[in-house]
Amino acid sequence: MSQQLFTLDYLDTPPTAVAGAEPAQDVRVSPATRTGRQRKLYIESYGCQMNFSDSEIVSSILFDEGFDTTEQLADADLVLLNTCSIREKAEQTVRMRLSQINSHKKRNPGMLVGVLGCMAERLKSKFLEEEKLVDLVVGPDAYRDLPNLIREVDGGQKAVNVLLSRDETYADITPVRLNSNGITAFVSIMRGCDNMCSFCVVPFTRGRERSRDAHSIEQECRDLVAQGYKEVTLLGQNVDSYKWASEDGTEHVNFAQLLERVARISPELRVRFSTSHPKDITDEVLYTMGRYENICKYIHLPAQSGNSRILKLMNRTYDRAWYEERVQAIRRILGPECAISTDMISGFCSETEEEHQDTLSLIDWVQYDMAYMFFYSERPGTLAARKLEDDIPLDVKKRRLQEIIDLQQKSSFARNQQAVGKVHRVLVENFSKRSQEHLSGRNSQNQVVIFPKKHYKKGDYVNVFVHTGTGGSLLGDAVE
């Protein structure tokens, strides 16, 4: 299970790491929709791609209930924060934001405030009773109940539903695409996680794994193509464990088969996915990627540590040798040009200096294109919090993290240098952040490519000759 799915948000330079402890928290405010409805929804999303996808589901449910969205907090009748519990800093950010929002509420007593997502499930009593920060608390599997909960709050009651489900996938809800560039979209294929990584809260906040109907996934992707979208990212806490069967037992679809179904919708539709688990990614998936040019040659394969003892303490259910074999399979089947990214945690419980060196040696051996890097932060309720001592001093965690960051930056730079002097097929997603005269897009390997605009526009596939590679992006010129 990958615990860090922070999105790039179409940056010119993907964040290999922010100097210091961790990547900046990704926060998105949903854009305005104006159809004349009287009530206005303001929604902020924090953390992972799954949260942003969930906000699109929530907006769809409330749109049908009579809510437009607004980008202005002061105009909102209902304010929702879709939250993340992965790291302590994420929770602190949300608490500070709720305090700010409550100052607005004092000037607008009719405003309703709610918390959605992982923090909702974990901290429901604190939010509602102890700190009185919110009016309603709604867990990830209870979004269909939002209209009823809002009616309870309208009637003067506090409202909560954080029940986890064994079958909810929201398969029949067409998401409202929020903060979309009109080119790329997330498609949720499963919910929950059955992996009990000792550092992770997700199994407790999002429940058990359940896979969405394959036909509904295909149809959502077909609809996106009809609307002009050019790329989908299939989302799940562990996409490799996707497994769906029809009620009559005549159809069985695993992830490799689903990937192929989506790829065959259109050769002009790029397909990405996140996140893979090293214990589950199969050669069948890799061979499927190899057969279809429109399945991007990029795999996020979180390692978390390069030491087998630490991996066992993390309950990752693989050791270093297994992980290395999976990397070798990727290189063998898809070639050295296939990009691999990872997550790494420094300073996990009882980690020694020698074991930290094993993490550095793994980074050096794999040569990751990109990584999300963190020092260990104990999360209440996890297996590690209950059974292991968080005994590495903070200054040691930070020093080890900086060594990981420094090494990974060298690896990212080296991988980008390998792209120089080659032509890459780039899907244009937006203007460059730095100039309206340049466009920004990504190649199959998820590398950001910047080039002069000329006559090209968003949604175009452009062949770009790359002449310069930095640590975070590639620079080039379009070739006819």
- Comparing CA positions, the residue from 112, 111, 163 lying closest to residue 138 is 163
Contacts of 74 (CB under 8 A, 6+ apart): 104, 108
> Residue 277 and residue 188: Cα distance in Å, rounded?
17
Q: 337: burial class by Cβ within 10 Å (0-12, 13-18, 19+)?
A: middle
Check whether 221 is labelled as a binding-site residue: no
Contacts of 202 (CB under 8 A, 6+ apart): 1, 3, 86, 118, 192, 193, 237
Q: How many CB atoms lie within 10 A of CB 365?
A: 12
> Residue 203 and residue 122: Cα distance in Å, rounded?
11
Which two structure tokens, joined as six digits, stand for 137? 């608390």
Check whether 349 is labelled as a binding-site residue: no
Check whether 197 is labelled as a binding-site residue: yes
In 133-192, the DSSP E strands lie at: 136-138, 159-161, 184-188, 190-191
Check whether 200 is labelled as a binding-site residue: yes
- The answer to whether residues 293 and 267 touch, using CB atoms and an 8 Å cutoff, is yes
Half-sphere exposure of 330 (CA within 13 A, CB side): 24
- Comparing CA positions, the residue from 357, 275, 274, 282 lying closest to residue 320 is 357
CA–CA–CA angle 448, 452, 458 (5° rounding):
65
Residue holding tokens 């409550």?
A: 102
Check whether 118 is labelled as a binding-site residue: yes
Give the residues across from 252 on adjacent strands. Answer: 245
Q: Specify binding-site residues for [4Fe-4S] cluster.
A: 48, 84, 118, 193, 197, 200
- Binding site: what residues are annotated? 48, 84, 118, 193, 197, 200
